Amino acid sequence: MSGKRLSAHPAYTYPDYKSSALRGPGREPVDLGEPGAKQSSGAGLESRASLAGRFKAGELDHDLTRSARRGGEPLGERIAVSGRVLDERGNPVRGALIEVWQANAAGRYRHKADDHDAPVDPNFHGAGRCVTDGEGRYRFLTIQPGAYPWQNHHNAWRPRHIHFSVIGDSPISRLVTQMYFPGDPLLDLDPIFQAVPAAARGRLIAHFDLGLTQPEFALGYHFDIVVAGSGATPRDDHGSSAK
């Protein structure tokens, strides 16, 4: 993949994000050239195998406010998150599988490895999925995630964020990233967000959208995802297990 395509993405290792030193490769990446280019052996790089129509989602998978109820509403501010998934040419990526995972309103994940001293919400499991429509659109209804402490450095707190995984109609449209919220004061202090080149950081911040806001029910946020090209949404290169 060319340097131009990588320009929006964080380096594999970023000193202020300490665990990236253990996750990042120690050698320079090998440039495989453009997708579909012939290799010296005469074999082409298989990158356009169609995945169209292979993904499904359940009726409530997109609605994290209802999919895990056990007798009550999940706690916190309801939000609607919607946008489009686009390829490097600005065309919609149809039939892409979008998966999200996040902390609850108190800043805790529904995961045994999360030992943050914050309550677990029995009516919210913090994970969902949907499939993009013919215009590349997706939509989730969820709860505003809370900030939470992590042990990267003294008094370290992660900004509010939602993890996104995109599997499009071909292997080259695979993307894992994080979506942040406008006006969060923790963004300037967060090594994961700051690892992204400055010119591309805005692509990770959702925009408040009154048109998506549901009266008396949920605030709306718009977040487009570009899977490749010079305008790509920055990847979470440090691994999807990063909190």
16-39 confidence digits (pLDDT tens): 676 666 666 777 777 766 555 554
Closest to 129 (Cα-Cα) out of 204, 58, 179, 226: 58
Q: How many domains does one find in the chain?
A: 1
User: 158 catalytic, yes or no?
Assistant: yes
User: 62 catalytic, yes or no?
Assistant: no
DSSP assignment of 24-49, as one string? Answer: S-SSPPP---STTPBPTTS-B-----
Q: Per-residue pLDDT averaged across 198-227, rounded?
A: 97
- Residue 20 maps to which CATH number? 2.60.130.10
Which of the pair, 144 or 241, is modelled with greater confidence?
144
Q: Is there a domain that residue 164 lies in?
A: yes
Options 84, 163, 203, 238, the catalytic residue: 163
Options 84, 129, 158, 203, the catalytic residue: 158
- Lookup result for tokens 């050239």: 33
Pair type for strands 148-150 and 161-167: unpaired
Residue 43 is predicted with a pLDDT of 44
DSSP assignment of 69-102, as one string? Answer: -SSSPPSS-EEEEEEEEE-TTS-B-TT-EEEEE-
User: 222 catalytic, yes or no?
Assistant: no
CB 229 within 8 A of CB 34: no
Q: Is there a domain that residue 76 lies in?
A: yes
Q: Is there a domain that residue 37 lies in?
A: no
CB 160 within 8 A of CB 145: yes
Q: Is there a domain that residue 159 lies in?
A: yes
Pair type for strands 161-167 and 97-101: antiparallel
Q: Is there a domain that residue 15 lies in?
A: yes
Q: Is there a domain that residue 30 lies in?
A: no
Domain interval for residue 67: 1-24+51-237
Rounded percentage of the chain residues whose pLDDT exceeds 70: 78
Residue 44 is predicted with a pLDDT of 43
Residue 132 is predicted with a pLDDT of 95
Residue 167 is predicted with a pLDDT of 92
pLDDT at 1 over 50: no
- Alpha helices (H) in the chain, listed in sequence order: 3-6, 20-23, 191-194
Residue 169 is predicted with a pLDDT of 74
User: 14 catalytic, yes or no?
Assistant: no
Options 14, 148, 180, 221, the catalytic residue: 148
Which of the pair, 57 or 209, is modelled with greater confidence?
209
43-94: per-residue pLDDT in tens? 444 445 556 567 777 888 999 999 988 889 999 999 999 999 999 999 999 9
Q: Is there a domain that residue 115 lies in?
A: yes
User: 161 catalytic, yes or no?
Assistant: yes
Q: Taking all residues of the chain, what is their mean pLDDT, rounded to a whole number?
A: 85
168-190: per-residue pLDDT in tens? 877 777 899 999 999 999 999 99
Options 109, 138, 180, 221, the catalytic residue: 109
Q: Is there a domain that residue 242 lies in?
A: no
Options 9, 160, 161, 203, the catalytic residue: 161
